[in-house]
Amino acid sequence: MRLLIVGTLNGQLSTATKMAMSKGAKVTHTETVNQAIDALRAGRGADLMMVDVAADIADLIARLQVEHICIPVVACGVETDARAAVNAIRAGAKEYIPLPPDAELIAAVLAAVADESHALIFQDPKMASVVKLADQVATSEASILITGESGTGKEVMARYVHSHSLRRDKPFISVNCAAIPENLLESELFGHEKGAFTGAVARRIGKFEEADGGTLLLDEISEMDIRLQAKLLRAIQEREIDRVGGKTPVKVNIRIIATSNRNLQAEARAGRFREDLFYRLNVVNLQLPPLRERSADVLALADHFAVRYAKTNGLSPKPISVEARRFLTRHQWAGNVRELENTMHRAVLLTTGSEIDVEAIRLPDGTRLEDAALDGVAYKAASAAEAASRAFVGKTVAEVEQDLILQTLDHCLGNRTHAANILGISIRTLRNKLKEYGEQGVPVPTPGEVRAYFG
């Protein structure tokens, strides 16, 4: 755990620092937000920021977003400063910790952003064989390609490999290649020098340097532009990178893990992915089976999520009823572990009795899982298709396309990558369409949400 503490608060944060260090955290301290941003630009990364509530937290979070730095922020302040605490949460802080600090609370916050949210839960033999292979290769220096459908847990597996590697005490840095605009991804990976381009007001250390000594995860690497793939290949082969605008190569010592929900070998044959880069990454392939092929994992994961989200929402954990467990194992889980996780989160919140029953287990559109799992699915699908075809009459092609994209996104709970995969389009095409709809005033679901209405 790398913790960045920002502010002074008359020395009370020093006490929090000592408590965090006693729990194994590696702590960096800055007095101002500007110093914190400079530290992050310089490659001194963090997994969590604890910030003086008197700081401009809204500005800090906005600047982190502009810099594509994804770090949860926790505000800290004296117990009587209730207004500042509320404002910090509204600005985007994940939590508020009253000071003087409590050792157990500090430990709880650290645990919340550590391994708990990345637990690898499995019981099914198919998944067990993948984990066995991961254990075999974890201590090697081999590059690993993790493949599987969206929502199968590829990043969780990557973190598992890192935590069992010889680099476990070094940074684990993740880059989502699909989420960062193409023109910024090179700078994000390799960094840039001051003045390298308009807006480069200071040197920025890239993810390769930030991961030095540890592991770099290139998530959804199939979305990377083929021209940048050539520079990535050189960086992997030579173990050195060139910052944008830089004059001297920089040596790096990292292990590469990449993920993709596409068949990269097929992408290479189609000319959309460099074949030499594919072979460089695919030294070991960990193929994650979809949840529908891991039936023994469904209930283990459901129990895990039920306990986790009860704790997250301050509720008492409740068991899953026998009938609900039966319906959970019958559902196909097109969205894989991510769909199951979201379903159990909803179920925890909707449950009113002493156990989680079928009534509480609903799909994103509000349909009970019980209804979705009944016989006659083919008839219902045909009826839905007929109704949809009737709805097309009188609409333009653009309107039909918009309806299809937004309804698919609703089905995926706002997950852009999964929706693009279902629609058969690139993530960039999808993002451009959504930007266009947003500019027209059309409601677009954010990740983890569905639209308030379906217009």
> What is the tens place of the pLDDT at every residue in 210-254?
999 999 999 999 999 988 999 999 999 999 999 988 888 999 999
Which whole number is the average pLDDT over 125-132? Answer: 95
Indicate yes or no: pTM above 0.85: no
CATH 3.40.920.10 fits 379-439, yes or no: no
Regarding the domain delimited by 2-117, which CATH topology (the fold level of the hierarchy) does it fall under? Answer: Rossmann fold (3.40.50)
Tokens of 260: 């993709």
Q: In which residue ranges of the chain is CATH 3.40.50.300 found?
A: 128-287
CB atoms within 10 A of CB 379: 9
pLDDT bracket for residue 422 (50, 70, 90):
confident
CA gap 87, 341 in Å, rounded: 30
The region of weakest confidence among 4-8, 75-79, 212-216, 233-237 is 75-79
Nearest to 236 by CA among 265, 257, 222, 259: 257
Confidence (pLDDT) at 241:
93
Beta bridge partners of 176: 219
Q: In which residue ranges of the chain is CATH 1.10.8.60 found?
A: 291-372
291-372 — its CATH code? 1.10.8.60
pLDDT bracket for residue 303 (50, 70, 90):
very high
How does DSSP classify residue 4?
E
CB environment 136-174: b (16+ within 10 A), e (fewer): ebbeeeebbbbbbbbbbbbbbbbbbbbbebebeebbbbb
Q: In which residue ranges of the chain is CATH 1.10.10.60 found?
A: 379-439
How does DSSP classify residue 445?
P
Per DSSP, the three-state class of 284 is strand
Per DSSP, the three-state class of 43 is coil
Q: Residue ranges of the alpha helices (H) in 289-426? A: 295-312, 322-330, 336-350, 369-372, 377-392, 397-411, 416-423
**CATH top-level class of 128-287:** alpha beta
Q: Helix, strand, coil: what percent of the chain each, to 5? A: 50, 15, 35
